[in-house]
Structure 1
């Protein structure tokens, strides 16, 4: 209802009033002071429609239209209920939930729904066409899939994903060329060079005859050129190729409306609303009228009502011209469409996914090794697809299959661990040497989703082997007895905090591995001029790590257990050791008495030393380590007291 109208009565009340009026066969009775008669009737009709009683609501819409010329927006509730009826009858997914993904969707841009062209991978890991990202930039851009901010900031230079671009060009040369022609056609359309744009799309369709977006856009061009039959044919083809794609049905509805097939057009728009209840364009189109009156709106009807309550003659709805924008290429829709509301509206039935339609498609499927998939497309031609070469998906740093692939802002892709190791030494791309300081400062590397999907789909055996190697490496790094990482610095003690400033590349790697494995532990030893580090040390546990934009970090760690070094070694630039842990042996008699004397002596010396310090230094020690613990009555119980035997 329009905002200028008075508030409607409660739905329950109007339902009761409507029911009483129907029983008394007095549909034209006044509304009992609830407002103008036509308004009360319209309110009752809306309430009945909202309650799912469309067969009772339609006669009231008729009566209301006799008393007052209704605007299109006043039939919004009826359109919504009809769309809901379609959704239930068709068994469509709930609003906002897309239909099940199709095999070839992996190569589609999720913004324009077309084949990826000049793919750009965002920091969040999702990939879109470069032109789609450039067109949809905003002050605070967000990825349309994960809604993460910071995708394509204004002024940021977008770089094409080099690996993906090369792969798509190699595997799908026709589709890539067709996508290029599509973008060229869009530019020509914006310049109002319609025939030239149509020619580009004709070439594109000949290269990619199963791309639904090409047919949808060409339908819009034909509509603008008043070639309505061609526009309808293209729209129908788009719907056949992608049965649950809203835009295809919207195009079809517009083409039908331009041909005067208003009842069929209405069905298409209601189907669009069944797919997406919030689509404003479909809702607006479904509410238009076919005869423009002097004041802009009217409804005409016949009074006959069937036993089921539906109308024998259609209600005709008309509204003045209004443009809508096409999402991918921003084509302007054709002017003024005409629509019918008939008894068939409540009994819509569609068969969009027949076996015939499915068989007409050519899924973009790649086969590996000696198997080449050859399918026959709708034109009868055979399309042999390239064989997937595993080397096309090798990391240029480790020369192995990508594992957890990450794409940098400059467009190059590496294994996550390979990239992190390179950034430990130099905050620049290993290939193009472009600065990656911002990437390093974020400390958040999201895997490139499309790359992972390609590898999992076409190289499953190689991926399984690659994952096995990685898991073996992690298991080896998780061993806290063999090849334990050693930080050569100062003496550490059990239960005592030990803050560390990490800046050397080898120790950056060491700390990161401790976090990745989940052990969060490493050894600490003092330096030894001969062996490199001492034969005794203490295991430290990482409590927290604070990373800085330049790659440095501050590690908050605390001592856990003492150990003895069995064998000194190195790994990837930092020291490691095979160790055995030290367990204190409890003593009795004279040995226990000697231990008490030693314990008290050490405690007294520490207490005397602390009290001799200046107040400023005392405050710093207290703020970091806390107050000095009380003397233990039994030194063999305390872990720290065991240091007397160190």
Structure 2
């Protein structure tokens, strides 16, 4: 029959299993502890809690119940509570992961879940509390998982973000002060100065009485100081404020257990399991406390009454056991999932409300809990007595607190649309978010390792001239070398959310500037250096600040082009030049760069100008005039002849000269079948012009020609001249 009962259990027919175990027990002269436990587990699974408690008590009377013998009872009570409490959301898994479920807002640190204190922006652009980053276990960004350096290359370690720090102190003055006391308390606690640490925590709680994490830590500090009654007060307040936070109930349970109130501790552990069914630690603790509750019933041995009539004996359950299980419910409170510093609850409210989407209001706790499920249980008869703790019956602690009246609204600019903290609109203005270099609203804000914030373009321009911070003169050479100009994402988000109109105007100005810079006819940037030709590569070593800016702008606008002209003593640069296109840029640690460019097209300068230190020009592009008929036949004949002449000249050069030319300019391009296909003519002409020993002015004259015939004639004359000169 026992095998049948086990098979019924495996098949899920727990009623049959319970009947079999009952019949087996009825046939015994003395109760069997193992059968009592099996029967109790089967009855528990069927929901017959009253009868199950009979069997558990019978087993307990025969030998102390061990925690590992009570998982079914704990799971069933927790599941019943979960099913009967409409406020409990979907189950979550995790062994011992009891992090606060509050939604983090814009100003929260993702490492400690609290308001940013001494905010520090790391290499990737995300911001955290400085003290959180100093933890040796933090090795990567909590947002993007990028590896973090521990000192950011500075001798004094990480620096706080000056602008963000001032902004947070201004917008959340009280909370910032509370956070300061809180962190000071943590440091004192770590140094084992517990009384001083408690003073700091008390000061922080006075300023921020609704911070769940703060209250939780103070409760843990009370427990370490063996002040369990104070820990219970904090734990009860915490559960009332955040009834869906598993850690709140866990801390309260630990405090109650330390205070010698196991029945109430059991209540809290069961709520933990109801909220997080897979939390193994909470389950084990609930089983341990439940084991102690059963054991306390039989501290004074009482002989069992004889079995009668073949029926299972209903052992006497003390009122305290049912009273422990009846009130299993979440404490009256708001189920709001707001931030740590959400307003305290109105204690006069007797209903449970849920701020989470999709969760309806809950009626009075006594009607929507396991107490309602157990309400039909028969009143237990008098009999065995259980030792009670000296702390009195189960009660809910209601400490005084600063209340926010129901329906009261904040008249400040609210961030509730995004979730999280609120602040008065007048506290934030565009003046708080201005770049100290351009005196305009931050655009693409970047925080330096020394903690100062600038517009990205402003900072780059400053570093073109000097590798020190424009404000504190901290050496930023390593920062410049890595070019890790990641935008401060928190700053960008603040600008977008709270200064959207001002940011849109700032963006409009920037886009207009970029549009103006990208016009490659009206204001073309001019690099005054050497001769450049279409299709010919032109590597450049850029070290002057003005040209650093010019190259960077050509990349930012997307044109990747600028003009190259030779110098002119009177005008600044020549009237003709060649457009270059950037193919690659390699930066050196000191800001210098090598720019790989290639010639694109020729142009004529219409007017000269300047912008931010470098030359500009209004230009007109040059194209060769095409010929047809007899002119084309003559052009082709000339083209072929000059090409052969050029090839013969190059072939006749000494090997060392050939090697130098080949290393710089490559091989002579092949002859074009249609020399008029390109607006600038055949590529081999420009290759030859680049390698021939001509002065810049002579090269410039040929570059300016718009007749391919004239250019070929000029090249032929040069080839004749250099050939004769060499033969001499």
Common topology (TM > 0.5): yes
Task: Provide the rounded CA distance (Å) in 1 between the counterparts of 2:615 and 2:218.
Answer: 65
Query: Aligned to 1:561, what secondary structure does the other structure show?
Result: strand
Partner in structure 2 of residue 565 of structure 1: 605
> Is 2:488 the counterpart of 1:448?
yes
User: How many Å separate the matches in 2 of 1:248 and 1:581?
Assistant: 74
The separation in 1 between residues aligned to 2:147 and 2:330, in whole angstroms, is 41
CA drift at 1:350: 9.7
Preserved contact between residue 257 and residue 265 of structure 1 (Cα < 8 Å): no
1:429 pairs with 2:469: yes
Within a 5 Å distance, the mapping from 1:499-578 to structure 2 comes to 499-578=539-618
TM-aligned CA distance change 1:242 to 1:575, over 3 Å: farther
Distance 2:624 2:7 in 1: 85
TM-score (norm 2): 0.63
Aligned equivalent of 1:216: 216
Preserved contact between residue 604 and residue 619 of structure 2 (Cα < 8 Å):
yes
Change (3 A) 1:515 1:218: same
After TM superposition, give the deviation of residue 236 of structure 1 in Å.
4.8
**Cα distance in 1 for residues equivalent to 2:265 and 2:539:** 76
CA contact (8 A) 1:524 1:539 kept: yes
The verdict on how the C-alpha distance between 1:452 and 1:384 changes in structure 2, with shifts beyond 3 A counting, is closer
Shift of 1:509: 1.0
Inter-partner Cα distance in structure 1 for 2:664 and 2:288: 73
Rate the CA distance shift 1:24–1:291 in 2: closer, same or farther, 3 A: closer
Contact 1:124 1:151 in 2 (8 A): no
Quote the residue 1:147 is aligned against.
145
Return the alpha-carbon distance in structure 2 between the equivalents of residues 15 and 408 of structure 1: 70
Q: What CA distance in whole angstroms lies between the structure 1 residues aligned with 2:187 and 2:283?
A: 29
Contact 2:228/2:255 (8 A) holds in 1:
yes
The residue number in structure 1 matching 2:335 is 353
Q: Is residue 544–residue 557 contact of structure 1 (8 Å, CA) maintained in 2?
A: yes
How far has the Cα of 1:233 moved from its partner? Answer: 3.9
Tell me the equivalent position of 1:327: none
Aligned to 2:254: 254
1:498 to 522, 538, 549: 538
Contact 2:185/2:201 (CA < 8 Å) preserved in 1? yes
Alpha-carbon offset, residue 440 of structure 1: 1.0
Structure 2: gaps of 5 or more residues: 1-5, 22-33, 294-314, 318-322, 338-342, 347-402, 417-422, 686-704, 707-728
Which of 666, 671, 681 is the equivalent residue of 1:641? 681
Deviates further, 522-531 or 263-272: 263-272
Change in CA separation of 1:158 and 1:86 when aligned onto 2, cut-off 3 Å: farther
1:618, 1:418 → 2: CA distance?
47
* SS of residue in 2 equivalent to 1:467: helix
**Alpha-carbon distance change, 403 to 285 in structure 1, aligned in 2, over 3 angstroms:** farther
Structure-2 residue corresponding to 1:189: 189
In structure 1, what is the Cα distance between the partners aligned to 2:19 and 2:151? 59
Maintained 8 Å contact 1:253/1:269 = no
| Counterpart pick for 1:418 among 415, 439, 458 | 458
Corresponding position: 1:465 with 2:468: no
Question: Quick check: 2:434–2:440 contact (8 Å CA) kept in 1?
Answer: yes
Q: Do residues 201 (structure 1) and 201 (structure 2) align? A: yes
Does the 8 Å CA contact 2:240/2:333 hold for their aligned counterparts? no
The alignment yields a C-alpha RMSD, in angstroms, of 4.8
Deviation at 1:518, TM superposition (A): 1.7
Q: Are the structure 2 counterparts of residues 589 and 99 from structure 1 closer, same or farther at C-alpha, using a change threshold of 3 Å?
A: farther
TM-score, normalising length from structure 1? 0.71
Which aligned pairs between 1:290-439 and structure 2 lie closer than 5 A?
Answer: 291=291, 352-353=334-335, 367=412, 387-439=427-479
Tell me the distance in 1 between the aligned counterparts of 2:88 and 2:112: 26
How has the CA–CA distance of structure 1 residues 528 and 354 changed in structure 2, closer, same or farther, with 3 Å as cutoff?
A: closer
1:376 corresponds to which residue?
none
- Shift of the 289–238 alpha-carbon distance from structure 1 to 2, 3 Å rule, reads closer
SS class of match (2:538): strand
Cα offset, 1:450, TM superposition: 2.3
Distance 1:117 1:54 in 2: 50
Q: Distance in 1 between matches of 2:614 and 2:7?
A: 79
Q: Does 1:584 align with 2:584?
A: no
Cα-to-partner distance string for 1:619-646 (whole Å, 9 max, x where unaligned): 4654565433221122111455257645
**Contact 2:445/2:492, CA 8 A, preserved across alignment:** yes
More strand, by proportion: 1
Q: CA separation of 1:397/1:113 partners in 2, compared to 1, >3 Å: closer, same or farther? A: same
Aligned equivalents of 1:93 and 1:606: distance in 2?
Answer: 83
8 Å Cα contact 2:565-2:578 kept in structure 1 = yes
SS at match of 1:558: strand
Supply the distance in 2 between the matched residues of 1:518 and 1:547 (Cα, whole angstroms).
18
Does the C-alpha gap of structure 1 residues 115 and 612 become closer, same or farther in structure 2, counting only changes over 3 Å?
A: same
Contact persistence 1:219–1:230 (CA under 8 A): yes
Paired with 1:15 and 1:595, the residues of 2 have a C-alpha distance of 103
Q: Equivalent residue for 1:114?
A: 114
Partner Cα separation in structure 2 for residue 364 and residue 551 of structure 1: 53
With over 3 angstroms needed to count, the CA separation of the structure-2 counterparts of 1:265 and 1:147, relative to structure 1, is same
Q: Which residue of 2 aligns with 1:35?
A: none
Q: Secondary structure of 2:145's partner?
A: coil
Greater Rg over alpha carbons, structure: 2
Q: Secondary structure at the match of 2:255?
A: helix
How has the CA–CA distance of structure 1 residues 143 and 288 changed in structure 2, closer, same or farther, with 3 Å as cutoff?
Answer: farther
CA distance in 2, matches of 1:393, 1:80: 56
Cα shift at 1:393: 1.7
Give the corresponding residue for 1:137: 136
- 8 Å Cα contact 1:632-1:638 kept in structure 2: no
Which residue matches 2:272?
A: 269
Deviations 1:140-176 (A, max 9, x none): 8212222111243498612122222223333333223
Structure 1 contact 584–642 (Cα < 8 Å) conserved? no
Residue of structure 2 in register with 1:300 after alignment? none
C-alpha deviation, 1:576, in angstroms? 1.4
Aligned equivalent of 1:234: 234
1 CA distance for matches of 2:151 and 2:76?
Answer: 37
Q: Give deviations 1:242-274, integer Å, cap 9, x for gaps.
A: 666564454344335544224432244336647
Deviation at 1:572, TM superposition (A): 1.0
Residues 22 and 423 (structure 1), Cα distance of their counterparts in 2 relative to 1, 3 Å cut: same
Q: Quick check: 2:249–2:268 contact (8 Å CA) kept in 1? A: no
Relative to structure 1, the CA distance from residue 642 to residue 221 in structure 2 (aligned partners, 3 Å threshold; closer, same or farther) is same
Q: Contact 2:220–2:231 (CA<8 Å) still a contact in 1?
A: yes
Q: How far apart are residue 402 of structure 1 and its match?
A: 1.2
Q: Name the counterpart of 2:636.
A: 596
Deviation of 1:434 (Å)? 1.0
Residues 36-47 of structure 1: pairs in structure 2 closer than 5 A: none
- Check whether the contact 2:541–2:594 (CA below 8 A) recurs between aligned residues: yes
**Mapping 1:156-195, distance limit 5 Å:** 157-195=157-195
Q: Is the 8 A contact 2:525 2:616 kept in 1?
A: yes
| Gaps in structure 1 of 5+ consecutive residues | 1-13, 30-37, 294-311, 315-339, 374-382
Q: CA separation of 1:448/1:490 partners in 2, compared to 1, >3 Å: closer, same or farther? A: same
> In the TM superposition, what whole-angstrom CA distance separates every residue of 1:346-379 from its partner, at most 9, and x where no partner exists?
x9999752699678679998957xx9x9xxxxxx
SS at match of 2:427: coil
